[in-house]
Amino acid sequence: MAYKPINPALGGEYFNYSWLLSSANAQNQFDDNKTTGFKAQTAIGGFQENLNRQILSQISKNLFGGEFGEATLTPGVYTMGSLNISISDYFGGLNISIVDIKTGEQTNINLPNTN
């Protein structure tokens, strides 16, 4: 009894190539025509993400504004891009609530009074 490889890549006959390829394609469960869930970003979508990044960057810069002598945050409710930002005073300091309207993600930041 002697071993003879079938796969041409492993030393088998190159005539087996088409049979192996058709057999693999018949067993393939993946459809090349289906979308992978990744969509190319539109110009408006890119603009909105850039706007959200700039807003969050400005907020993070203003969080430490008192430390560096820059302007501080003004209480109020702001909607910019897909972000809903609520800044309010409370007994212990400042509360910032940021909600992404599109995804529902949210974060709360509580800054205590330093005085």
Asked if residues 55 and 81 have their Cβ atoms less than 8 Å apart, the reply is yes
pLDDT score, position 69: 47
Cα–Cα distance for residue pair 23/26, rounded to 1 Å: 5
pLDDT of residue 78: 86
- pLDDT of 36: 60
Confidence (pLDDT) at 103? 86
For residue 87, how many C-alpha atoms fall within 13 Å in the half-sphere facing its CB? 12
- Walk along the chain (115 residues) and give the pLDDT tens digit of each residue: 888 888 888 888 888 888 888 888 889 887 766 656 667 778 777 887 888 888 888 777 776 655 544 546 778 898 877 888 898 988 878 888 888 888 888 888 887 776 6
pTM: 0.49
Domain assignment of residue 2, yes or no: no
- What phi and psi, each to the nearest 5 degrees, are found at residue 39? -115, 140
Residue span of the structural domain in which 61 resides: 46-112
Domain count, the chain: 1
- Domain membership of residue 67 (yes or no) is yes
In a domain, 4, yes or no: no
Q: Domain for residue 29, yes or no?
A: no
Q: What's the confidence (pLDDT) of residue 35?
A: 57
User: Is residue 61 a part of any domain in this protein?
Assistant: yes
